[in-house]
């Protein structure tokens, strides 16, 4: 399910001419910090959710999956002007971004009349 989700996000990103890395390294940077991850894990633990005892391994696993879809997720949130939400649309500064209409018409640098 995770793989199908990140592949879907990549395909959507490519449709809107957003560059996507199809072979990211598990240790490539992501938009979530280790501190944010730890804070979320602590909130879960405090709520009674059982967690793996090895937080370092949990972080590596999380980051290793997130790297597959992080750039596409953030760019699509920006493009769609998604409302502010943790770990997605709160990752970019230009909150007044207005997406271009019909970006596929500008891919080759020429406009097509329809």
pTM: 0.77
All residue ranges of the chain with pLDDT < 50 are 110-114
Establish how many alpha carbons lie within 13 A of residue 110's alpha carbon, considering only the half-sphere containing its beta carbon: 4
The residues, any chain, with a CB within 8 Å of residue 70's CB and separated by 6 or more, are 30, 31, 32
Kindly report, residue by residue over 61-76, the tens digit of the pLDDT: 999 999 999 999 999 9
Do 75 and 97 lie in one domain? The reply is: yes
Is the same domain home to 94 and 110? yes
Q: In this structure, are 18 and 33 located in the same domain?
A: no
CA distance 39 to 33: 10
Are 41 and 6 in the same domain? no
User: CA quadruple 75, 76, 81, 86: dihedral positive or negative?
Assistant: negative
Residue 62: its pLDDT value, please?
96
User: Domain range holding 17?
Assistant: 1-24+68-114
Q: For residues 55 and 81, state if they share a domain.
A: no
């Amino acid at each position: 399910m995770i793989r199908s989700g990140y592949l879907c996000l990549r395909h959507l990103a490519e449709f809107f001419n957003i560059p996507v890395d199809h072979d990211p390294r598990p240790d490539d940077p992501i938009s979530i910090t280790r501190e944010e991850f730890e804070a979320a894990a602590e909130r879960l633990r405090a709520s009674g959710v059982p967690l793996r005892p090895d937080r370092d391994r949990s972080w590596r696993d999380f980051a290793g999956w997130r790297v597959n879809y992080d750039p596409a997720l953030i760019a699509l949130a920006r493009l769609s002007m998604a409302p502010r939400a943790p770990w997605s649309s709160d990752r970019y500064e230009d909150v007044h971004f207005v997406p271009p209409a019909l970006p596929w018409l500008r891919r080759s640098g020429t406009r097509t009349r329809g």
